[in-house]
Structures are given as structure tokens and as C-alpha cells.
Amino acid sequence: MELCGAKRLGYFGRSQFYIALKLVAVAQSGFPLRVESINTVKDLPLPRFVASKNEQESRHAASYSSDSENQGSYSGVIPPPPGRGQVKKGSISHDTVQPRTSADPQEPASPVVSPQQSPPTSPHTWRKHNRHPSGGNSERPLAGPGPFWSPFGEAQSGSSAGDAVWSGHSPPPPQENWVSFADTPPTSTLLTMHPASVQDQTTVRTVASATTANEIRRQSSSYDDPWKITDEQRQYYVNQFKTIQPDLNGFIPGSAAKEFFTKSKLPILELSHIWELSDFDKDGALTLDEFCAAFHLVVARKNGYDLPEKLPESLMPKLIDLEDSADVGDQPGEVGYSGSPAEAPPSKSPSMPSLNQTWPELNQSSEWETFSERSSSSQTLTQFDSNIAPADPDTAIVHPVPIRMTPSKIHMQEMELKRTGSDHTNPTSPLLVKPSDLSEENKINSSVKFASANTVGQQQAGVVAHPPAVPPRPQPSQAPGPAVHRPVDADGLVTHTSTSPQQIPEQPNFADFSQFEVFAASNVNEEQDDEAEKHPEVLSVEKASDPAGSLRVAKTDSKIEEKTAASAPANVSKGTTPLAPPPKPVRRRLKSEDELRPEVDEHTQKTGVLAAVLASQPSIPRSVGKDKKAIQASIRRNKETNTVLARLNSELQQQLKDVLEERISLEVQLEQLRPFSHL
Amino acid sequence: MAVCVAVIAKENYPLYIRSTPTENELKFHYMVHTSLDVVDEKVSAMGKALVDQRELYLGLLYPTEDYKVYGYVTNSKVKFVMVVDSSNTALRDNEIRSMFRKLHNSYTDVMCNPFYNPGDRIQSRAFDTMVTSMMIQVC
């Protein structure tokens, strides 16, 4: 005991303190009297800290204790010299508590910490707390136990133990450093809880938790934001998550989560509220982030913190959503969000946070529009690169990738309304997502795609029908646009076609697509045949998109024929338009300008261009590439291309459906307006 | 203004009932109770056709001199009853529909909570908040 006392007296540091506590615990278990004496001694030198100490200790006890047994033994009390009485209790409780089996919600105990209690270990605690730089706030003790919280939980086996610990530590965790305890309420609540039990528990706990106490303290003191999750805590949460759901990217079903959190012995009503707060995407399951938030709230609640009405920002599974959307293909294990939703996924690559942060902003539809409306300039491409994350969610939504991103979903809905724009952006996003060497190529591709998209919407159908040849995404989106244009004069088509051949040679002049135009030209010829077949369909579809389609329908018929012949030229003409901001497909639909026609022709060309672009990607590495790096780069590019193509394909499919619907409506209109059609 | 909002379970016992004016609550409770018969009548009348074609929004159940009672039933036979002040003529049908939609969404969220046992009283704070906002806003 003396040793303990000596140690205690000499302890300033936490570790020392904890060792002292350990000794105390040992001593207490074995020598109740000693504890008493120690306590009395402690009381004397630090009478004024009794109150605070008691609080501290009670908190400490709370932190350590998740033992219901301890609670029972304590009854409140404690004016000094409480130590003695408590010491006895402590000793008694030692035996009972030591096993520390029950993780009963020590809520009553944890908050307890009546200032006047001076559990056997309190002297130690006091000392430590006293020495603590922060003022003698009662909160201090909380801070101490706080850090122990997580480690304590971790030290304990099983989630239940963790829960118990958590509950015990309730006071500390949310508190920041000892000094900065701003939350007096929690302290007070603690005080109101069973101080005695807490103290006893503390004593007992100290035995077992001495080692973890330090950790817990660290944790509690590390809170800058009451709701922030420290790394230790987070690690603990993740471990607990793994025990339930090995896949970090998976979800914990509601029933499993219910059982888990019921172990924390919180009232069902509070657990229900915690669930409402943490299930962000309202899907009835918890992702890792949601689970951590829920766990954190449970811990806080057990420590006496009232549950917030709204989920604190630091607990929001934003990253998850963003990560999911961003990662769509590349990053490991990001769980879809939820949560909104989100819901939203455990794996958070460190690189994503930055993207994620920008994400919410990017998610705004306005931003999407800007992207889509930007010309396929390098600058635009650059922007897309930086906005890969946001782009992904859009893309992701298009694809059947289960992503719980409520915000993104909403955004996606908005984007769906502007599909054409999104199409433009989406295609680039997958490309841009991969930060590989192909970034530049991607840019080019995206630019090409945009160009093509701008031009001929009609060809989208053709593009879709086209085999692998990279049906450039923009093209499909452009289909509606060009379709509108198509209905332009048949004469225009004729002239267009006639000019198209002339335009073909012009393609190579396009700066942006110079590299690809050559390919495009070669590919265009190949594709034209295919596209020619599809033109009729495309044209009809495009007609549908044109509200004033009646006249155009007639025209398109003629145009179709012409176009098939002029498919080649179309590409050429497209070449001219690629620079045009891809993104005004929506507007184009409403347009009935001649430009549309040329775009139609260009569509095929663009398809070729795109194909060329895509083809160029792999070819580029080959040309360069005898180096392993080049090969790897080419592999990466190919993979990216594959991803892009897959996405493009799905988007094109959707566009095809839309176009077909438009076609039907236009045909109806045509029948109605036929008598009035002229030309 | 929604003077009273009630959620009735399939077995016709209330899961949640809240009135704005704290006095005369019993009167509102009684009105909701009597409206259940009207709801059943409407449901059975519509139910002849396939359930798919059944509208969830039942519309005005019955008007009194002071209040109008609107009903909404979900596919799981959970009924939402809303009592609105008649003096508030600015309230259009669309607004009532949107209010019921919000109610339905919030109810779904409550159901998703694994800690909620279907058949229990709804004690979700989020649900309360939503209902309060509806009752105040509509006012």
C-alpha cells in the first residue's frame, strides 16, 4: 500500500497514475484497509479536490465500469471522507467487479460521479486529475477516462464488453482535453448518476483497466469536437463491425445491428433514435460509417451525453457516399452510401476525402450543367479530371452499381433530367477517374466524345448498334440533339452529304482531334456502312425528339436515305463541330437548324472519331511502348476504356429507349400533321 | 392547418395521434375514430377493383362545420387521418396529398428502424418533428 501510495503520490503522468490505480486495485482487493488508509491520506492532502476528484473518479469508474455490480454497491454519497466507506465498497466490489463480466449499461453508474464520492481509487484519480494541467474541473476526470474508452473497449473481449466499457466511459469520451471541457452538463449528469457505484466500479476497473485507462483518457481528451470519432475509437468500431460483418464494404442488416446495440443496455427508445440518426440513407442497414456513427452515439449516450436531434456533421457518412461514387470502379471497398442514405461504406481511401469534400458541391446540378455545357476543351477536361469523384456518382447511378448515396441520388435524378448533359460528363468521368497516364488521352477522348455527342444524335442509335467500336457516349446523348436537327430540310441533307465528302478531308484539320481524325476517317468509312443501316432508325428517333417533327419527319425520311449515303461525310462534318460545346444537346433538340443536319452526318464521323480515339489509346502505348511502363499504361488505358465503354453502352441503351419513345410520339404527330406537311 | 394527425394501425388502433390545440383533444380523437368507418367504406368500395388500382389517397372523408377530415391508406392497411381546419380554405388538395406523402415517407423511415416493432406506438423523434412542422406550417 505504501508503495502504491508512494507511487501515487509521485505520479503525475497518466501511465504512472494508472499503474498506481492498478496497485490500488490490487491492494484493495487484497487489503481493503490499505486502500482506506490511502484514501484518507489522499483526502487529506487534497481535500479540496474531493469534489472534483470524486467526479473524476466516478467518471473514471464510469469509464471503467460497465459493471452493473459496481453500480449496485454504490449509493451515492460521499462527502469526504468518503474514501473509507467507499474503499470498503470498493474492496467488496472488487471481488464482484473484477470479473467484470457484465457489461450492463452502466449508464447510471457512469454519469454518477457525484463530486463527493471518493472511491478508493479516487485518491489516485484525484491526484492524477489534480496534476492535470486543466483546472480542477470535474470534467477532467472525464477526459481521463475518455481516452481509455476506446482502448478499454478494445481490451475487453466481445462487443458486449466493449459496450459496457463504452457506457462506462460515457463521460469522458465526448470530452476533449481536460482543460477544454466545455461540457459541464455531462459532468453534472454524471454527478447525478450513481456516484457510489461509479466509484466502486472505478476501483474495480482500475484493476483491469489500468492499462486501458491511459488509452481511454487519451481518447477522451482527443476530442476536439464532441462528436468527433478518434482514431482509436474508430478502429474499435471497425473491429466491432468486422465481428458482425466481415466485409467492410457490406452492410449490417437491421436485425443484427439491433441485437448488437441492444447489448449496450440503452433503452429501446434511445436506440431507436440513434438508429434514426445514423441510418443516413434510410435503408434499414448500416454501412461501416453509419455503424461507427451509431456506435459513437451509443457510447456518448452511455456517458451521459444527450442524443442530438440531428446527426452531427462529423458523424455523417459523407465520405462513404462520396467515396462510393468516386470509386465506382477503382477504389477498394467503398460501400455504397445510404443513407442517405446514407447510406455509405466503410472503406474510405484517404485520397477520396478531398474529392468527397468537393463532391457535395459538384453534385449540384448546376455544376453538372456547366460541365456538360463546356466545350471539349482541354480545360474542360481538366476540370472533369478534378471532378472525377462527382462525375462518378453520376455514372454510378447510371450503372446498376448499388450505391447508397442519397444526395447523389437526388443529384442523379436531376441529372437524369438533363441526361444529355450528363451523358457528356459521364463518359468523361470514367475516363478521368483513372488517374493513369491516360489522363491526357482520356481528355482527348472525352473531348472527342463531346464533339461527337454534339453532332449527331441520330447516330447514337447507330452507335449503339455498332459493335464494340467505342460508341462514344456523347454521341448517344447527341442523338436527341441531332435528331432534332435532322428534320431539317431534306435539301440540306443533300447538300450536306455532298459537302460531307469534302468535309472528310477537313477532319484532319481539327486541332483537337487531329490525332484521332485520321483514325476517325479510316474508321468512319468502316462505320458508315453500319451507321447507314441505323440511320433510318436513328433518324426516325431523332425526329421524335423534335417537337416540330412533323415536317421534319418527312424530311428525315429523305434525309435518312441521304444520310446513309453521306454517313461518311457526316463524320467529317462532325469533326467541325466537336469543338462546339458538346453539351447542349438539350437545346439542340429544340433547334431546327441546319447545323443539326451536319451534325447528324458528323455523328457517324464522330463515332468513327471516337472509335479512333479509343483505338488510339491502346495504339499509343504500343507505339511508345516497349517499356514495361508503357505496356502497363496501355493496359490501364484499355481497362479504363473498357470501363468507359461499358458505361457508355449502358447509357446508350437508355438513350436508345428514350429515342424510340420519341420516335413513336413523333410518328403519331406525323400522322396527324401529314396533311399539313410541305416540302 | 392540420389540426390533428393520426396514424391508425391495420387493426384500427392508433399508433400515433397528435393534435395542435391542446384542448379539445378528446374531440379530435373522437373524430378520428369515427372517420375510420368512412375509411373502411371507401376502401371496400375501391377494393372491388384490383388493389393496384386503388388510390392511396382517399381524399375528403367527411366535412363538418368546423373541420374537414382527410384520409390516406397504405398498402399495408395503415391509415393516416388528418383533420384540417375548415377556415383554412387556402389548403388545396395537392397540398393535402403532399402532406400525406410526407407522412408516408416518415412512417416508412420509422418502419425501417430495426428497433421499432410494428404495432408499437410511434415514438420516433424524427416523426414527431415532421408532424409538428406539418401542423405548424399548414397553419
pLDDT tier at A664 (50, 70, 90 boundaries)?
A: very high
Q: Exposed/middle/buried for A299, CB within 10 Å: 0-12, 13-18, 19+? A: buried
Percent of chain B with pLDDT over 90: 0
What pLDDT score was predicted for residue A637? 93
pLDDT beyond 60 at A338: no
Gap between the Cα atoms of B69 and B51, Å rounded: 23
Question: B15 vs chain A: nearest CA distance in angstroms?
Answer: 15
| Cell output for A6 | 508512494
Query: Mean pLDDT across the stretch A649-670?
Result: 92
- Torsion angle, alpha carbons of A344, A350, A355, A356, to 10: 30
Q: Looking at per-residue confidence, does A13 or A308 come out higher?
A: A308
Nearest CA in chain B to A279: B113
Q: Is A244 on the interface with B (CB under 8 A)?
A: no
Contact check, Cβ <8 Å, B109/A276: yes
What pLDDT score was predicted for residue A647? 93
Query: Mean pLDDT across the stretch A272-283?
Result: 80
Q: Is A273 on the interface with B (CB under 8 A)?
A: yes
What pLDDT score was predicted for residue A649? 93
Contact (CB, 8 A) for A63 and A171: yes
Cα-flanking dihedrals φ and ψ of residue A144, to 5°? -60, -60
Average pLDDT of chain A is 53
H helix or E strand, kind and range, residue A321? helix A318-327
- β-partners of residue A340 are A342
Chain B contacts of A273, Cβ < 8 Å?
Answer: 124-126
Gap between the Cα atoms of A384 and A386, Å rounded: 5
| Residue bearing cell 428517333 | A541
What pLDDT score was predicted for residue A43? 42
Q: Is A272 on the interface with B (CB under 8 A)?
A: yes
- β-partners of residue B57 are B72
What pLDDT score was predicted for residue A391? 43
Q: Looking at per-residue confidence, does A130 or B132 come out higher?
A: B132
Contact (CB, 8 A) for A127 and A11: yes
**Which CA distances in Å does A286 have to A311, A328, A363, B122?**
15, 20, 23, 21
Helices and strands (DSSP H and E) totals, chain A: 34, 4
Q: Exposed/middle/buried for A40, CB within 10 Å: 0-12, 13-18, 19+? A: middle
- Strand, helix or coil for residue A625: coil
> Other CB atoms closer than 10 Å to residue A99's CB: what's the count?
12
Q: Exposed/middle/buried for B76, CB within 10 Å: 0-12, 13-18, 19+? A: exposed
Query: Mean pLDDT across the stretch A246-274?
Result: 81
CA A283 to chain centre: 15
* A-to-B residue pairs, Cβ atoms closer than 8 angstroms: 40
| Cell output for B103 | 407522412
Tens digit of each residue's pLDDT (9 = 90 or more) over A193-231? 444 444 444 444 444 444 444 444 444 444 446 667 788
Question: A302 vs chain B: nearest CA distance in angstroms?
Answer: 17
Contact (CB, 8 A) for A451 and A579: yes
Residues 512 to 551 of A: which have CB under 8 A from any B CB?
none
What pLDDT score was predicted for residue A284? 78
pLDDT beyond 80 at A288: yes
Chain A contacts of B108, Cβ < 8 Å?
Answer: 282
What DSSP character marks residue B126? H
Contact (CB, 8 A) for A168 and A65: yes
Contact (CB, 8 A) for A545 and A336: no
What DSSP character marks residue B51? G
Gap between the Cα atoms of A142 and A461, Å rounded: 67
Q: Domains in chain B and their CATH numbers?
A: 2-134 (3.30.450.70)
Gap between the Cα atoms of A357 and A62, Å rounded: 37
Contact check, Cβ <8 Å, B129/A258: no
Tens digit of each residue's pLDDT (9 = 90 or more) over A68-118? 343 333 333 334 443 443 444 434 444 443 433 333 434 333 443 344 434
Chain A contacts of B123, Cβ < 8 Å?
Answer: 269, 272
Type of residue at A34: R
Q: Which of A253, A275, A309 sits opposite B113 (nearest CB)?
A: A275
Question: B136 vs chain A: nearest CA distance in angstroms?
Answer: 19
Contact check, Cβ <8 Å, B113/A283: no
Q: Is A275 on the interface with B (CB under 8 A)?
A: yes
Q: Is A254 on the interface with B (CB under 8 A)?
A: yes
Type of residue at B34: T
pLDDT beyond 60 at B72: yes
pLDDT tier at A312 (50, 70, 90 boundaries)?
A: confident
Contact check, Cβ <8 Å, B115/A275: yes
Contact check, Cβ <8 Å, B126/A276: yes
Query: Mean pLDDT across the stretch A256-267?
Result: 82
Contact (CB, 8 A) for A599 and A488: no
Helix axis angle, A14-30 to A82-97, nearest 10°? 80
pLDDT tier at A636 (50, 70, 90 boundaries)?
A: very high
N-terminal to C-terminal alpha carbon distance within chain B: 4
Average pLDDT of chain B is 81
- β-partners of residue A285 are A253
What pLDDT score was predicted for residue A206? 45
Question: A275 vs chain B: nearest CA distance in angstroms?
Answer: 6
Write down how long chain A is: 679
What pLDDT score was predicted for residue B50? 52
Question: B114 vs chain A: nearest CA distance in angstroms?
Answer: 5
Chain B contacts of A283, Cβ < 8 Å?
Answer: 112
* Radius of gyration of chain A measured on its C-alpha atoms: 34
Percent of chain A with pLDDT over 90: 5
Contact check, Cβ <8 Å, B114/A255: yes
- Strand, helix or coil for residue A474: helix
What pLDDT score was predicted for residue A639? 94
What pLDDT score was predicted for residue A417? 52
Contact check, Cβ <8 Å, B125/A268: no
Q: Domains in chain A and their CATH numbers?
A: 2-40 (no CATH), 222-303 (1.10.238.10)
CA A488 to chain centre: 46
pLDDT tier at A507 (50, 70, 90 boundaries)?
A: very low
Contact check, Cβ <8 Å, A271/B116: no
N-terminal to C-terminal alpha carbon distance within chain A: 109
Contact check, Cβ <8 Å, A273/B125: yes
Q: Looking at per-residue confidence, does A634 or A559 come out higher?
A: A634
Q: Which residues contact A82 (CB under 8 A, 6 or more apart)?
A: A39, A43, A50, A54, A116, A117, A118, A119, A122, A199
pLDDT tier at A244 (50, 70, 90 boundaries)?
A: confident
Q: Which of B114, B124, B126 sits opposite A284 (nearest CB)?
A: B114
What pLDDT score was predicted for residue A545? 44
Nearest to A95 by CA among A70, A114, A119, A76: A70
Q: Exposed/middle/buried for B93, CB within 10 Å: 0-12, 13-18, 19+? A: exposed
- Interface confidence, given as ipTM, is 0.78
Q: Looking at per-residue confidence, does A441 or A306 come out higher?
A: A306
Chain B contacts of A282, Cβ < 8 Å?
Answer: 108-109, 112
Question: A295 vs chain B: nearest CA distance in angstroms?
Answer: 15
- DSSP codes of every residue in A586-614: HHHHH---TTHHHHHHHHHHHHHHHHHHH
- Whether cis (ω within 30° of 0) applies to the bond prior to A81 is yes
Nearest to A63 by CA among A18, A100, A110: A110
What pLDDT score was predicted for residue A602? 47
Tens digit of each residue's pLDDT (9 = 90 or more) over A471-490? 444 444 444 444 444 444 44
Gap between the Cα atoms of A80 and A496, Å rounded: 99
| Residue bearing cell 390545440 | B21
What pLDDT score was predicted for residue A655? 93
| Residue bearing cell 467492410 | A248
What pLDDT score was predicted for residue B15? 86
Q: Find the angle CA(A338)-CA(A341)-CA(A347) to the nearest 5 degrees.
A: 35
Gap between the Cα atoms of A139 and A638, Å rounded: 59
Gap between the Cα atoms of B58 and B121, Å rounded: 23
Nearest CA in chain A to B112: A284
What pLDDT score was predicted for residue A191? 40
Question: B95 vs chain A: nearest CA distance in angstroms?
Answer: 22
Strand pairing category for B67-73 and B57-63: antiparallel
H helix or E strand, kind and range, residue A252? strand A252-253
Percent of chain A with pLDDT over 70: 20
Contact check, Cβ <8 Å, A273/B124: yes
Q: Is A255 on the interface with B (CB under 8 A)?
A: yes
The residue ranges of DSSP E strands in A341-427, in sequence order, are 342
Gap between the Cα atoms of B83 and B8, Å rounded: 14
Chain B contacts of A291, Cβ < 8 Å?
Answer: none
| Cell output for A255 | 436485425
Contact (CB, 8 A) for A552 and A546: yes
| Cell output for A10 | 509521485
Chain B contacts of A261, Cβ < 8 Å?
Answer: 115
Contact (CB, 8 A) for A512 and A579: yes
Chain B contacts of A410, Cβ < 8 Å?
Answer: none
Gap between the Cα atoms of A365 and A387, Å rounded: 13
Question: A417 vs chain B: nearest CA distance in angstroms?
Answer: 22
What pLDDT score was predicted for residue A25? 59
What pLDDT score was predicted for residue B32? 86
Q: Exposed/middle/buried for A204, CB within 10 Å: 0-12, 13-18, 19+? A: buried
pTM of this prediction?
Answer: 0.36
pLDDT beyond 60 at B86: yes
Nearest CA in chain B to A269: B123
What DSSP character marks residue A304? T
